[in-house]
Amino acid sequence: MTTERHTDALSVSGHDVAQLAWARTRLVQAALPRRMMQEVVAAVERNATWRGQECLNLLAPEAPMSPTVRALLSAEVGQRAAEGHIGPANRWFAGTRHIDEIESLAVELLKRVFRSQYADHRLVASMVGNLAVYTALTSPGDTVMSLPQPVGGHSSNRPDGPAGVRGLKVVDIPVRPDLSVDLDAFAETARRVQPCLVALGASMTLFPLPVAEMAEIVRPWGGRVFFDGAHQMGLIGGGQFQDPLAEGAAVMTGSAGKTFSGPQSGIIVWNDPEIAGPLFQAIFPTLAATHQVNRVAALAAAAAEFLEFGPAYMAQIVENAQALAEALHAQGVPVWGADRGFTRTHQVIVDARPFGGGLKAAQLLEEANIITNKNLLPVDQPSDWDRPSGLRLGTTEVTRYGMRAPEMRRIAGLMADVLQRHQDPAAVRSAAIDLRRTFPTLQFCFPLNG
């Protein structure tokens, strides 16, 4: 078993030491606590102007929240404590009657969106949701199978994340370079190692995965499929991707702040009453205490808006991703999955090797106010983490601001100007700002509080 943790000289202490030195200098210059606070507020405002108004955000894990959802994040209830399960007898604290209302609305709304029998709202991150799944459904020393990072796997299902924390043996799911699972090789390995859990779902995600087939393969020894839908949660809720629970996954987790477009946190849903006890127990008291009720309120509001707008919003996201991929391909930018129709999700994966790799490409594009991220490709090793070959794009944010296929072609043109035609990114930047400013209004949502 190889460990995949990324280490280099800079990450020994974690944070970038030069950046922390910058902050110390600013605090010394500010001198007074009040001016120190103003430093914080000013940095937030600089980000809001640049990232919020002047950039074409193509970061796949990001989504803009609706005005109501954003407003609820600063609600009064965010300073209330509510440990425990919903209901007066279950809480540690008195005074939770309206919190029970908010949280029960959240649970029932999530069950509607995901067409599930059970849902939970207390995960402060999807990463914690994955740890809850491993806590509930595995024991230390068990074997699980998951996707390695170069084919899109996420650390939360690998030895360097919650699966590793739980002391699990992690065996790779065999995946072809086109990101499809090699089912024959999977069946052979699975029968040999008999995983109790198979984690599917990926951070780099272009096509549906064979949930039903894999669930069938592991059924004889009581193995289960766990779908980590962090990225695809919105697409699944909106009926624009496969439906893992209906296809036989025992449990599904996901990020509320990725395509689902709610507050950054986790969602977990399942149908089987037999695993309800262990999952609830893993969430509380094991992994959640105070769980940010303002965030729960925002999550519930996002779910209600999703019932109204989700299907159309998510369909447009996928259409835009396909349009962006096709336009990049037409400009001569190599796009992964060309032989499979490029994408069935919000993501587009660019092979950035002709442009000096993913890090170089992302840095050049950032200079042009086009925000993307470097990404491992199937041709990379996990150790290529800091200098991978790929670039990952996502269309969630540009879609919610109302952009459509013509704007995807425009964005592809700007990207090709920078990457392919070597134009000065600073010169491309003003065109990116213009395009962003042409679409100031968030769509697929109700008016504030309304």
Ligand X SMILES: *Cc1c(COP(=O)(O)O)cnc(C)c1O
Residues that bind ligand X (CB under 6 A): 61, 125-127, 130, 154, 156, 201-203, 228, 230-231, 255, 266
Q: How far is the CB of 134 from ligand X (least distance, A)?
A: 12
Please say which residue, 256 or 398, places its beta carbon nearer to ligand X. Answer: 256
Please say which residue, 294 or 345, places its beta carbon nearer to ligand X. Answer: 345
Q: How far is the CB of 233 from ligand X (least distance, A)?
A: 10
Please say which residue, 70 or 409, places its beta carbon nearer to ligand X. Answer: 70
Q: How far is the CB of 203 from ligand X (least distance, A)?
A: 3
Please say which residue, 232 or 271, places its beta carbon nearer to ligand X. Answer: 232
The answer to whether 245 and 114 are in contact (CB under 8 A) is yes
Q: How far is the CB of 56 from ligand X (least distance, A)?
A: 21
Q: How far is the CB of 138 from ligand X (least distance, A)?
A: 17
Three-state DSSP string of the chain: CCCCCCCCHHHHCCCCHHHHHHHHHHHHHHCCHHHHHHHHHHHHHHHHHHHHHHCEECCCCCCCCCHHHHHHCCCHHHHCCCCECCCHHHECCCCCHHHHHHHHHHHHHHHHHHCCCEEECCCCCHHHHHHHHHHHHCCCCCEEEECCHHHCCCHHHCCCCHHHHCCCEEEECCECCCCCECHHHHHHHHHHHCCCEEEECCCCCCCCCCHHHHHHHHHHHCCEEEEECCCCHHHHHCCCCCCCCCCCCCEEEEECCCCCCCCCCEEEEECCHHHHHHHHHHHHHHHCCCCCHHHHHHHHHHHHHHHHHHHHHHHHHHHHHHHHHHHHHHCCCCECCHHHCCCCCCEEEEECHHHCCHHHHHHHHHHCCEECEEECCCCCCHHHCCCCCEEEEECHHHHHCCCCHHHHHHHHHHHHHHHCCCCCHHHHHHHHHHHHHCCCCCCCCCCCCC
Q: How far is the CB of 76 from ligand X (least distance, A)?
A: 25
Please say which residue, 201 or 378, places its beta carbon nearer to ligand X. Answer: 201
For 313, half-sphere exposure in the C-beta direction (CA atoms, 13 angstrom radius) is 29
Please say which residue, 255 or 316, places its beta carbon nearer to ligand X. Answer: 255
Q: How far is the CB of 41 from ligand X (least distance, A)?
A: 25
Please say which residue, 96 or 157, places its beta carbon nearer to ligand X. Answer: 157
31: left (phi over 0), alpha (psi -120 to 50) or beta: left
Please say which residue, 229 or 337, places its beta carbon nearer to ligand X. Answer: 229
Please say which residue, 68 or 375, places its beta carbon nearer to ligand X. Answer: 375
Which has the closest alpha carbon to 386: 121, 1, 5, 2? 5
The answer to whether 362 and 403 are in contact (CB under 8 A) is no
Q: How far is the CB of 280 from ligand X (least distance, A)?
A: 20
Please say which residue, 255 or 369, places its beta carbon nearer to ligand X. Answer: 255
Q: How far is the CB of 221 from ligand X (least distance, A)?
A: 25
Q: How far is the CB of 425 from ligand X (least distance, A)?
A: 28
